[in-house]
Amino acid sequence: SDLQKQEERGELLQPLIFVLLVLCSILLYFKVSLMDPGFVKPEEEVKEGQGAVIPQIPGDVKLRRCGYCLVKQPMRARHCQLCQHCVRRYDHHCPWLENCVGERNHPLFIVYLSVQLVVLLWGGRVAWSGLYFEQSWEWLKHNIFLLVSFLLILIFTIVVLLLLVSQLYLISCNTTTWEFMSHHRISYLRHSELENPFDQGIILNLWTFFC
């Protein structure tokens, strides 16, 4: 049959891989959006002296108690008013995920963005290959859905690519989106002699984050 011939020629392998990538992307989305991003629990409050593990941070910078959930915040934690929790190594609250990106789900968030980018690039290539351009109303009427799909894929690809590149840059510097955007408002950064006291070099920063 035609299906067997396509299988013998390996023509079914690429669609199968694409479908698996889409399924992987969907599973990663639900995993990242539903998992605990690193909420600070009252029973996990850190001791006051733990701030001393980073010698570059002045000793007069004390860990503060959150005014909303009343837990003592670890270093680099922040309260998210949308989630109503303090989040360890808070990066940002993602409206697409309806969840914070923090200490526990940040690496998976990067994997999700990477898989999503591959799916979008692949889908964009398929959509582009199906387009043949003619300057006529008849052509536009028959290809409008494919053209709109390609433009939407292009927009989402640019957004995901920029987000992934910016995230990888911040990870390589061992900083978070919140720390990068609010450096002047964060006490342990504002009073530090170094611009980024957490930076240990690109290789070690990446190794610590992913491994």
Burial of 48 (0-12, 13-18, 19+ CB in 10 A): exposed
Q: How far apart are CA 40 and CA 72, in angstroms?
A: 9
Q: How far apart are CA 9 and CA 195, in angstroms?
A: 57
pTM of the model: 0.82
Q: Are 112 and 15 in contact (CB under 8 A)?
A: no
80: its two tokens: 């998210």
The predicted pLDDT at position 132 comes to 67
Query: Which of the residues 24, 66, 83, 94 is marked catalytic?
Result: 94
What secondary structure does DSSP assign to 15-66, as a single string? HHHHHHHHHHHHHHHHHHHHS---BPPGGGPPPGGGGGGSTTS-TT----B-
Q: How many CB atoms lie within 10 A of CB 104?
A: 17
pLDDT band per the 50, 70, 90 thresholds, residue 169: very high
Residues in Cβ contact with 13 at an 8 Å cutoff, skipping those fewer than 6 apart = none
Q: What is the pLDDT of residues 14-73, one digit of tens each?
A: 888 999 999 999 999 999 999 999 999 876 655 444 443 444 555 555 667 888 888 888
Cα-based angle 38, 119, 114 (whole degrees, multiple of 5): 35
Residue 94 annotated in active site: yes
57: its two tokens: 């941070």
Mean pLDDT score across all residues of the chain: 84
211: its two tokens: 């491994």
